[in-house]
Structure 1
C-alpha cells in the first residue's frame, strides 16, 4: 500500500551518501538506492527534502516526510520509527588535522590526549567516544557536518567523529591537505548497520520497500553503484 499524498524523502548534506547537487536535486548512493527501490514499486516521482540530522526522526514522527536517508539502527531510535533492512555497515572514523594523524588514532587516543571531540548532536559516535573515556566536557556538539569540519580546521576541536566514509566523501568533494581521516580500530567499535527509516504509520509501505531492497542489494547494479561512490566490498 502506498501512503496517501506525495512520497517525501528526507536527506542530509553528507557525501557520498547524499547531498544537494547544483540545481537542487539530491544525489549520492543512498539517493540512488532509494530511487531504484521506489521505481521498483512503480513510484517514479517523489519529493526530496534537505534537512539537518536533528530533524530527521522528528520529521518522520510528525509526518513531514515518509522516509529518510539511512542512519544507524539503535534501540532508542526504534522506539520512534521503523527501519528497513540494513543497507550498509560502516566503521567509525575521525577527521583530524594532518599533523595529529598519528597522535589521535582513535577514541581512546583522544581520551588519553585530553583532546576535544566534535560530533553532530544525536549521532551514535558521541556515545562511542564517551565509552572510550573522553570526558563529557571535552565533547563539542554541532548541528551539521560542515560545522564539525570547520571546528577541526579552525582549531576549535581536535577530532570530528562520524563514519570514515563520510569523512572521505567530504574530502573528495572539498579537498584539504591540512585534514586527514583516521579509521577507528574494530576493537573500539565494530562496524554498525544503517537502514532507511520510516514513520510507524507506514508499516505496510516499509515492508514493500524492503522487498524491493532485497532484490536490489548485492545485484550487479548495486555493486557497481556503490563502487562508483567509493565503497569497498564488505561495507554494503
Structure 2
C-alpha cells in the first residue's frame, strides 16, 4: 500500500523526520486503520506525477485533488473530503489591484500555477492570455516566482496559501480570495488507480464513518479549516 503526497500544507507535507503529516495524511491513516491496514508507505512526489503514478502502479492512492471529468477518465475518486475556493498569493502592494482572475487578465499581469492543477484553466477562462500563464513543479517554486517578480500572482486554493504562510510567514505576501463568480468552491477527493475498485469502495465506507464525526471536526479545526470547507 503506497500513499503519494505533496509538500503542500496544511493538506500534507514532510516532517523533519521524513514522515508525512497534515490533515489529508491523518484522514487517510484513520480510514486505512478502519480497514485493518496499520502500515503503509508514504511517498513524496510532485503534482504532475500524481495521476501518472496511479496509472502505472507506482502508488495505490494519492492525496486528495479536485475531481474533474478529465481526471475521472484516468483514475477513480473516493467520496469528496473537502470543498475549497481558489485564492491568489500576491505581493502586498498588488492585493488591491489583483482581486481575482479577471483583474489579473485586465492588468496584463503574469500568473503562475503548479503544473497540472485546475487553476490554469480557471485563469484562461477568465481571459488571462495563455502567454501570461506559466507553470512550475511545486508550491515552493510558485511562491519564489512571485517573490522574485517572475510572476505577479500564484493561483491555488486559498487554503494552501494560508497553510504555506502559517508555516513560513512572510510580511511581503498577501492572500486574495478569488470571487465565487470567477471560480466556485470545488470538491476534492482521494484518487485511486482503476485497478483497485474494491479497495476504493471499502475506503469510501470508512470515510463516511469518519467525516463529520467529533475526531474529524477537531482534526480539521486543528489544521485551521473553516467548518464550511469540509
Length-normalised TM-score, structure 2? 1.00
The residue number in structure 2 matching 1:4 is none
Structure 1 gap ranges (5+): 1-6
The one of 12, 23, 46 aligned to 1:18: 12
1:233 positional shift:
0.8
SS of residue paired to 1:188: coil
Q: Deviations over 1:86-133 (max 9, x none)?
A: 000000000000110110000000000000000011100000000000
Is 1:148 paired with 2:142? Answer: yes
1:189 positional shift:
1.2
The one of 162, 169, 172 aligned to 1:168: 162
The residue number in structure 1 matching 2:173 is 179
Equivalent residue runs for 1:33-44 within 5 Å: 33-44=27-38
1:190 positional shift:
0.8
* Count of paired positions: 230
Q: Deviations over 1:22-73 (max 9, x none)?
A: 1100000000000000000011000000000000000000000000000000
SS of residue paired to 2:196: helix
Q: Deviations over 1:179-231 (max 9, x none)?
A: 00011111111100000000000000000000000000000100010010010
Is 1:123 paired with 2:117? Answer: yes
The residue number in structure 2 matching 1:45 is 39
Equivalent residue runs for 1:1-236 within 5 Å: 7-236=1-230
- 2:39 and 2:116 map into 1 onto residues whose CA distance is 31
- 1:120 and 1:202 map into 2 onto residues whose CA distance is 28
Q: Deviations over 1:136-190 (max 9, x none)?
A: 0000111110000000011000000000000000000000000000111111111
SS of residue paired to 2:225: coil
RMSD: 0.4
- 2:109 and 2:183 map into 1 onto residues whose CA distance is 19
- 2:185 and 2:104 map into 1 onto residues whose CA distance is 19
Structure 2 gap ranges (5+): none
Q: Which runs of structure 1 show a deviation greater than 2 angstroms over 4 or more consecutive aligned residues?
A: none
